[in-house]
A and B are shown apart, each in its own frame.
Chain A
């Protein structure tokens, strides 16, 4: 349990054996082999602390939040708002009013694109994104550019999988109204210099929207230090449940924005002639929220905080670097993206001409869960002229022993498809 881990932390680092005890799902066999879960970039597993927080809420506390006068409703409201406080502290937001609960990163980015975009974009304006974005940070901008007549531009990537900073300098100009980019690529693993990119956006008067889906679970995040105007992330990639995500925004920008979805909880007053909006963050939280899931996210944030984000990123970096070295030795295997020093805990690769679905199927039969496909980032794959990759990703519960199993299984795939 994590409390034991915590006590040890004073004198030594937490050990992964302690952590593994908290993840019952990982103690199972798949096709007769112990499960090796290397797909946390798609979705992480959940520790018992998160499961228990949600179970406890449903068993003892559940009622609808915010307008109930009765005891359960007050307790539910307190628990829900307490989760928001934990999240705010986790990313060093100046105020809980700036932490909006959404369904996931995708909904957070859509909220910004539609709500901010409709009010602020016009023909002649430019929206700048990058070629390494997940579809969730591409498609909303395509849609809002179609609606508003603004022009969408893309920062290209270099052969090494970094942003092309020369091109960025050309593309960011006084017409750019928003620069939206990922803090860490879900395919290349590239860690982008968020604070510098934000500063460059601000220098031309653009707002900066950061897709933190891959960075927030793995790297320490301080929205004030980054000076980001918006930060979007998902609970389910950071040990929390699915169905809840976060949008952080600067207060003055959020206040000036029209609502995204209309309904209950987001209004101050509704007349037949029109409505007035509720205060932040409720203006952007229409309808009954995912209360238990927010509480689960709060527990996940506690778990991550107790381990320490510095320890987490260092630990993942060790595993990823080891995996990088081992995979490089497999003949015919090519890893996409930058070297270990500029990379988060994931590796996307191609193995000869074996289709990634076949690689993933062979690995699955040896109990190893990886992802295969375009990972919702087709432009990157087009850039490298490949249709798909296989991706192994690492989190706090993975070990170098599992990397060795991965290498053995990849060699098995090679022998089956013998090239």
Chain B
């Protein structure tokens, strides 16, 4: 258990980075996980094909919210093409814990919302 809710996950959950809203975002996207009702909104500022600003808002379990917080720390400076290539493994490595099939959806919701907002990719990341 102490493996699953590792201190860095709980830290991101309790003190989420980039939580809130941007003024005048270039991209704004919201989605829910139909299995549990977790919600994530992601807002982005984009300049010359690169992400220069990010904010997220949402509610849900520690895994979904920590995943969103961690993701926002990584993606500033990435090109939109790089965002397109982010996959399931990227998120699970970021979280650094073994995740079963049900909780995987919690972990992947932020990336799903990000890719849907940027590229219109609505399917779950693989």
Contact = CB atoms under 8 A, between A and B. Distances in A.
Interface of A: 31, 355-358, 361-362, 365-366, 372-374, 381, 387-388, 412, 416-417
B79 to A, nearest CB: 33
What 7 pairs across the A-B complex have the smallest Cβ distances? A355-B61, A365-B1, A357-B61, A387-B37, A358-B62, A358-B61, A373-B36
Contacts of B108: none
B22 interface: no
Contacts of A373: 35-37
A257 B103 CA distance: 44
Nearest to B102: A357
Contacts of B61: 355-358, 361
Given A357-B103, A387-B37, A417 B1 contact: no
A417 B59 CA distance: 15
B119 interface: no
Interface size class of B (residues with CB under 8 A): 10 to 19
B65 to A, nearest CB: 8
Contacts of B35: 373
A120 B103 CA distance: 44
**Chain A binding surface SS class:** mixed
Nearest to A412: B1
A361 B103 contact: yes
Interface string B1-40: 1001100001000000000000000000000000111100
B106 interface: yes
B5 A416 contact: yes
A417 B35 CA distance: 23
Contacts of B4: 361, 365
Contacts of B5: 358, 361-362, 416-417
Interface in B36-72: 36-38, 59-63
Contacts of B60: 355, 357, 387
Given A361-B103, A372-B36, A417-B10, A355 B1 contact: no
Contact of A366 (B1, B36, B63): B1
B112 to A, nearest CB: 17
Interface in B70-123: 103, 106
A357 B1 contact: no
Contacts of A412: 1
Given A362-B5, A416-B5, A388 B36 contact: yes
B103 A388 contact: no
A355 B62 CA distance: 7
B106 A357 contact: yes
Contacts of A387: 36-38, 59-60
Nearest to B32: A387
Contacts of A365: 1, 4
A362 B59 CA distance: 19
